[in-house]
Chain A
Amino acid sequence: MSRIIVVTSGKGGVGKTTVTANLGMTIARLGHQVALVDADFGLRNLDLLLGLENRVVYTAAEVIIGECRLEQALVKDKRQPGLMLLPATQNRRAEAINPQQMKQLIGELSKMCDYVLIDSPAGIEMGFKNAIAGATEALIVTTPEIAAVRDADRVVGLLEAQSVKRIHLIVNRLRPKMVRENDMMSVEDVQEILAVPLIGVIPEDENVIVSTNRGEPLALADNLSLAGVAFQNVGRRLQGESVEFLDLDNNNENFFSRIGKVLRTKIF
């Protein structure tokens, strides 16, 4: 039985597509067959992040209309066998497709792989409804900002109404230093409002921008950056492994402040 997971957030720009791309790559690396579905019709991005743009021939819309077979539209990733992408259309708008059709498409796709990750568009309109139609699980991506958390809360409510009960939370773009200085919501603050089990915390990382522009997800690198490790941990937790959360607090401290800390703890 394959798992169908929608990646959603409500608010835009919190990193849904980045999470989808990296998580897909990670899960494929762990040895599973993964299909990524770009459900952001009209504003497709996922192919860019994966560096697969120039290999897209057909898209999900053509499959739904019946202009091509599903296998024809799937783009296989050469760097990571096991990863496939079902791209979104640029020209047809989301209204042309209904949740029923989407559900059927996802159902067919799920027969071919272990994981289906659906990248949902921002908002709670038709595109969102299409994206969650076939899903049985959800990953809520949010940043530690009140607006993002508020929207995430709304989306959790909508998912619950749609009977998507297995929901996990990813807190993205956390800046431990700002949290320490009380300038940013902490992971605990976010969790307290959303009351959804946490599956990952991704620190803010400049490498994400670089990798996005290159079309090489962080999780693809041999030498994983901190955010890359965080994504890998999410992938492993998703498999059911219990992995400890990264200690983001100590990572940015330099040698001397650590020594200072050690000394202080010795004295008192």
Chain B
Amino acid sequence: MTSDSVLPNVVPTPTVSPSLREENIKFQVRLKTEDGGLQLILPAEAESSIDHTWTELWEQLKHRLNGGDRFWQPQTKVRLMAQDRLLDGRQLKAIADALKEAELQIERIYTTRRQTAVAAATAGYSVEQQLRFSSVVSGKPSQLKEPVAEPLYLELTVRSGVEIRHPGTVAIVGDVNPGGSIIAVGDILVWGRLRGIAHAGCQGNSQCRIMALQMEPTQLRIASSVARAPDKPPKQFYPEVAYISPEGILRIARAADFVRTPIETMEDKR
């Protein structure tokens, strides 16, 4: 592949397939730094169109903790934002155990559900029951467009079957294996081999980019464009950047040349 070349097998999609239009990005477990402590935010049941099983939720949490555990001070306090999710005592304990393994502690549980509040209080946690109202408001992302979240930085291998969704930019230190996928509202950076699926700008921002040290993806998606990798892998790999050209075609450029490329296109516009 020469630098700044269109993928030989690029599949520009002029018509936007419905699955690529508006991704509801908000339904994964999130860990957020908030004034000195951590917030563990569980996806609200009202928000997610897909019904999240407890196992899935728990696996997401474990992957997040495994991927970022060296960034937290031991014994950091965590506020668990359970939102409108029903949690029983066993599940609360499972969350606490997972956090404990990463040397984190639950400080307080916030919930809008009475049953969860009771279960948490019974298990001996301090609980704050919030009004249901607040979750209803935030449950309408289409009206209240949230600003892009802080970048998600993970140090792990995204293995087959794992999907990372994040309402911001995602940086992965490690490989993205075939069968794994990353879906981000912002950019995607892979400091490793990208062999799975990456979808940047999934809410329609075609300015977003996908960067990888070794680009051999199953599929690349930016905003509503889709491209697949050439059938023959290049002989030599070097860091590359995928972006949408002014003509609206998904292109890949050598990272070293990429800095130059946007300037050229700017001049073209004039």
Q: Interface of A with B (CB < 8 Å)?
A: 146, 150-151, 153-154, 156-158, 160-163, 193, 195
Say whether A157 contacts B175, CB under 8 Å: no
| Contact partner, A160, options B62, B175, B178, B195, Cβ 8 Å | B62
Chain B residues with Cβ under 8 A from A163's Cβ? 62, 101
The smallest beta-carbon distance between A8 and chain B, in angstroms, is 14
Chain B residues with Cβ under 8 A from A158's Cβ? 59, 161
Most buried by A among B58, B63, B66, B159: B159
| Size range of the chain B interface in the assembly | 10 to 19
Say whether B101 contacts A154, CB under 8 Å: no
Chain A residues with Cβ under 8 A from B63's Cβ? 157, 160-161
Say whether A160 contacts B179, CB under 8 Å: no
Most buried by A among B157, B160, B179: B160
Give the distance in Å from the alpha carbon of A158 to the alpha carbon of B177 in the complex. 14
Give the distance in Å from the alpha carbon of A163 to the alpha carbon of B62 in the complex. 8
Say whether A156 contacts B159, CB under 8 Å: yes
Give the distance in Å from the alpha carbon of A216 to the alpha carbon of B76 in the complex. 55
User: Would you call B162 an interface residue if the criterion is a C-beta within 8 Å of the partner chain's C-beta atoms?
Assistant: yes
The smallest beta-carbon distance between A159 and chain B, in angstroms, is 10
Give the distance in Å from the alpha carbon of A217 to the alpha carbon of B160 in the complex. 33
Q: Interface of B with A (CB < 8 Å)?
A: 58-59, 62-63, 66, 101, 157, 159-162, 175, 177-179, 195
| Contact partner, B62, options A150, A156, A161, Cβ 8 Å | A161
| CB within 8 Å for A153 and B160 given contacts A193-B178, A195-B175 | yes
Interface SS, A side: helix
Say whether B101 contacts A153, CB under 8 Å: no
Chain A residues with Cβ under 8 A from B101's Cβ? 163
Give the distance in Å from the alpha carbon of A79 to the alpha carbon of B101 in the complex. 43
Give the distance in Å from the alpha carbon of A193 to the alpha carbon of B175 in the complex. 8
Say whether A193 contacts B66, CB under 8 Å: no
Chain A residues with Cβ under 8 A from B162's Cβ? 157
Chain A residues with Cβ under 8 A from B157's Cβ? 195
Chain A residues with Cβ under 8 A from B160's Cβ? 150-151, 153-154, 157
Give the distance in Å from the alpha carbon of A158 to the alpha carbon of B161 in the complex. 9
Give the distance in Å from the alpha carbon of A193 to the alpha carbon of B178 in the complex. 8
Give the distance in Å from the alpha carbon of A93 to the alpha carbon of B12 in the complex. 49
Give the distance in Å from the alpha carbon of A154 to the alpha carbon of B157 in the complex. 11
| Contact partner, B177, options A153, A160, A162, Cβ 8 Å | A153
Chain B residues with Cβ under 8 A from A151's Cβ? 160
Give the distance in Å from the alpha carbon of A158 to the alpha carbon of B180 in the complex. 13
| CB within 8 Å for A157 and B178 given contacts A163-B62, A163-B101 | no
| Contact partner, B66, options A146, A153, A154, A160, Cβ 8 Å | A160
Question: Which chain B residue shows the least CB distance to A146?
Answer: B178
Say whether B175 contacts A150, CB under 8 Å: no
Give the distance in Å from the alpha carbon of A161 to the alpha carbon of B58 in the complex. 8
Give the distance in Å from the alpha carbon of A162 to the alpha carbon of B101 in the complex. 11
Say whether A154 contacts B62, CB under 8 Å: no
Say whether B59 contacts A150, CB under 8 Å: no
Say whether B59 contacts A154, CB under 8 Å: no
Give the distance in Å from the alpha carbon of A193 to the alpha carbon of B161 in the complex. 14
Chain A residues with Cβ under 8 A from B58's Cβ? 161
Question: Which chain A residue shows the least CB distance to B178?
Answer: A150
Give the distance in Å from the alpha carbon of A150 to the alpha carbon of B101 in the complex. 28
Give the distance in Å from the alpha carbon of A150 to the alpha carbon of B196 in the complex. 11
The smallest beta-carbon distance between B7 and chain A, in angstroms, is 22
Question: Which chain A residue shows the least CB distance to B101?
Answer: A163
Chain B residues with Cβ under 8 A from A161's Cβ? 58-59, 62-63, 66
The smallest beta-carbon distance between B173 and chain A, in angstroms, is 13
Chain A residues with Cβ under 8 A from B62's Cβ? 160-163
